[in-house]
Amino acid sequence: MINIASDKKELNWAVLGTGVIANQMASALHDMDRQLYGVANRTYEKAVTFAEKYGVKKVFPTYESVFDDPEVDVVYITTPHNTHYPYMKAALEHGKHLFVEKSITLNSRELSEMRELAEKNGLVLAEAMTIWHMPLYKKLWQIVDSGRLGKVQMITMNFGSFKEYDMNNRFFNMNLAGGALLDIGVYALSIVRSFMDSCPDRILSQMKPSPTGSDEQATMLLMNKEGQMATVALSMHSKQPKRAIISCEKAYIEIMEYPRADRAVIVDAETGEREEIVEGSTANALQYEMMDMEAAILEGKTDAMRLSDSCDVMDMMTGLRKEWGMKYPGEEW
């Protein structure tokens, strides 16, 4: 078994993929006065260009060679989510801590297997879900837990993007695990889970498929055993505000642009008085994630990464897709 805690002062990060998130991650490390240790990409030339841009120490010829390098401590997987499972398995079997872009896996079976493998090998496994790590949410959870707003009663979530009907694009391509739920719904359901006392166990839904069969639009009604309820509306072909409303007995919380939010407004139910809460900075979202990940590894604080909540969210998403009959090519539930 590998010990989670480490005597190292700095961890060596390697990233799989060179897309938008990988670029943001490399920039975040640079802003932390750190240097990315390694990079690998399906196209080697792109990895070389990426390394030159960010001063990355090592370019790996294959993804597998990343896992073989004993100097790599933690791997950030930013490749499309339909590729995560095999890379996660190989990395964990080689003793690497894992930080995996959302959606962390395709389904609950994959995540359950990877969670068990991580625990067996004493490794930290986490989803790169900004909501778990933004200072704003940590503050809001404290406020809600204090009881001064009363019990959370209802949560209302919206997230919609207008994507052109390019059926080869990952947003609609079933071979790339396209669709609203795994791409943007994971954020909405993570908010829902984080403010509820327990995971919703009663879920009703409607789904409109795109021409490829992916979930173009979806609406959900959720309730847990405590009677807390939520509504979620998602779309990949119509614009909606990224808005969350957490309705409590004595006030409601409104959060705009919620995936990386740094401010919220609490509105008193009786007086209408508005209180603005400002914590952290949207621009530093990836830094907060990586700092929490390093603390989890170096100090053994695995609970800081909220993997159990990611598992609850994955259970909801897998259950919904089973209900819709929306199975990806080659996927095993």
- 292 falls within a domain: no
Please identify which residue in the block is written with the tokens 């990836």: 286
Is there a single domain that holds both residue 56 and residue 86? yes
- Gap between the Cα atoms of 256 and 277, Å rounded: 12
- State the residue range of the domain holding 103: 13-128
Q: What one-character-per-residue DSSP string does 33-47 give?
A: T----EEE-SSHHHH
- Helix 135-146 to helix 186-195 angle (10° resolution) is 30
Classify residue 161 by its DSSP letter: E
pLDDT in tens, 11-48: 999 999 999 999 999 999 999 999 999 999 999 999 99
Please identify which residue in the block is written with the tokens 């990988």: 22
Alpha helices, DSSP H, located in the chain: 20-31, 44-54, 63-68, 84-93, 108-120, 135-146, 180, 186-195, 285-299, 307-324
Is there a single domain that holds both residue 196 and residue 86? no
- To the question of pTM greater than 0.85 for the whole model, the response is yes
Identify each DSSP E strand in 81-224 by its residue range.
97-101, 125-128, 152-162, 202-209, 215-223
Is there a single domain that holds both residue 120 and residue 249? no
pLDDT in tens, 131-186: 999 999 999 999 999 999 999 999 999 999 999 998 888 899 999 999 999 999 99
Residue pair 57/36 in contact by the 8 Å Cβ criterion = yes
Domain boundary among 128, 159, 187: 128
Residue pair 188/219 in contact by the 8 Å Cβ criterion = no
Phi, psi of 28 (to 5 degrees): -65, -45
**What's the average model confidence in pLDDT over 278-292?**
97
